[in-house]
Amino acid sequence: MDNPLLEVFNTPYQSIPFSTIQPEHFIPALKENIKNALKAIDKVVRQTDAPTFENTIEALQDTGELLERNSAILFNLNSAETSHAIQATTQQASPLLTQFQNDVRLNQALFERIKMIYQNQDLENLSAEKQTLLEKEYKGFSRNGALLNDDEKELLREIDTEKAQLSLTFGENVLADTNAFELHITQEKDIEGLPDQVKEMAAETAQSKEKEGWVFSLDYPIFVPFMTYAKNRELRKEMSLAFGRRGFQDNDNNNTAIILRLVELRKKRAELLGYDSHAAYVLEERMASSEENVKNFLEDLFQKAHPAAELEWKAMEDFAEQNLGLNTLEKWDSAYVSEKLKQAQLELKEQQLKPYFPLEKVQAGVFDIAGRLYGLHFEKNEALEGYHPEVEVYEVFNREGDFHALLYTDFFPRTGKRNGAWMTSYRGQKKGQRPHISIVCNFSKSTTSTPSLLTFQEVTTLFHEFGHALHGMLANTTYSGLSGTNVYWDFVELPSQIMENWCYEKEALELFARHYQTNEVIPMEYIDKIKKAAHFQQGLLTLRQLGFSFLDLSYHGSETAAIQNIKSHESVILDRVQFFGDYPENSISTAFSHIFQGGYSAGYYSYKWAEVLDADAFELFLKKGIFDAETSKSFEENILSKGGTEHPMTLYKRFRGKAPDPEALLKRAGLVN
């Protein structure tokens, strides 16, 4: 079989020739890649020279390049452009890759070489990056079973294989339930309140399905505005309950048993490795360092946010009763009432802002801001392939005009694409190799009458993911394993969340916030309202994020053995952060892909943790100027380019000159004076 995955791509920048790659190419290629990688590792192990950093640690970095590339392509496609064939291939590939990882991590002879270097190397003779890599390699083995006996190693292999497959199935189930639902409306009175663009998208969806009227899905660009603007309360309820039933229905997509088994396996794996819990295992390699520290951090935020949230909820209840005739608020009312209250208090309607945020201009704006801050220049290259016709590919050049990265952008929902937004990498950065980065979002599509117009929340989402992309594109390390977003998990959100701050600054907004019809710059009064809106219901928003964090920790902390029923467990955990009732037919956990499909298990708190870092860091930009060259250069040199080459607190203090202050976040959110 002529298999393009078996060779280095003969394309510009070794970009991916997606059109030549078929699902049936992956498994033969991965098997061959694994065989070659194991041969290369065996060569490292069998050499007769005494172990050194160069002949062992450094040599390992050059093994398995094609394997890393091809598995990245497969799993990225499974998230952004999947099919039954891709899903089946991914299920088949997962145990192969897990077995390979275990074959490496449980290779006793290899570990003995690494351990000898780790215990005997004169660290003063190594650069900070080499010291970090050596420690990471040693811990990568010791924390993944190298110190176990043979029977324990075999058990670890079984656990890891099952875990990987269950996580894939979890995501497939959520996607299947999302795609299976549609709300078909034929009466115009039932879509009262919805923005014209949303109605137009729903009408075009109905036409594509050869149906009359409007069809609404659970995709975020449809679901969120429906819940925010639809006047028909019963239809909001129907949409809300459908969203909450994903993975929690009496069908083949039910995720409850998968969650219980994943939690059990993660705990069993941690205990096998000598840890009290999965959280203890994970947090050992985080800035937070322990479950107790995370609990204290979250609890401190809860105590400061809850009084504000109570007042905000009471204000919603009073407003809903007096102005909307709602005596009891349910969860399908919260977004609707919140938007009405915001309009009344701030005289700000989200729909007034959307005409000033056409996607094309927002994207050009974030490119412009990256140029002003870091000297990057973006040029679309239509000759380079994407994996779908909607995907665009950009060459990224640095301030010297040299090629610096490839950037793929993929902005609209599709049947084969999971919800949410994320940044990922197709090729990492290392010495002599520049990265290929991708941003994937689910924004409102253009219609026959309007271009893609973003809500302000979608604007901040684009800036957020672009911040992650900058972390990848500006990486400048020797080793790919320490490059870009390969950092402590509770540090990875700093570059993304700090970028959101530019969305609130007049000097930045005037670069791109222009009316799609008149090209008029967004009025100053709207900018003032945007800034005021940044404080709107911050107590409730903080409680929502804390709820996810509490729930995550409850599944992975020291008391997970007591969990027998997913629904009753999450109801107890979330009771203190929710003001509306519980709904027996709904579950948050069964669609909580961040922790059961993605990499955020025992780490969801990192969003709030990183908000502390970003609020504190952005204070320096505010003090010096949001486009200050010295400050942006320092952020690039000490944070964005350094990846995980040193401890994140060392890097942060080098940029900021001090440790982060949690008060910066509370002040920005308006929760303290």
Instruction: Write out the catalytic residue numbers.
Output: 465
Torsion of the alpha carbons at 529, 531, 537 and 541, rounded to the nearest 10: 130
CA distance 568 to 85: 36
List Cβ<8 Å contacts ≥24 apart for 42-46. Answer: 44/110, 44/113, 45/107, 45/109, 45/110, 45/113
The token pair at 376 is: 């990057």
CA distance 234 to 425: 42
Between β-strands 392-397 and 377-380, what pairing exists: parallel, antiparallel or unpaired?
antiparallel
437: phi then psi, degrees, rounded to nearest 5 = -115, 150
CA distance 235 to 191: 9
Q: Are 374 and 636 in contact (CB under 8 A)?
A: yes
* Helix-helix angle 291-319:606-624, to 10 degrees: 80
Length of the chain: 673
Sheet holding 377-380, edge to edge: 377-380, 392-397, 403-410, 436-440, 422-427
Give per-residue burial for 78-112: e unless 16+ CB within 10 Å, then b: bbbbbeeebbebbeebbebbbebbbebbbbeebbe
- For 481-527, give the DSSP string: GGSTT-S-TTTTTHHHHHHGGGGG-HHHHHHH-B-TTT-PBPPHHHH
CA distance 597 to 595: 6
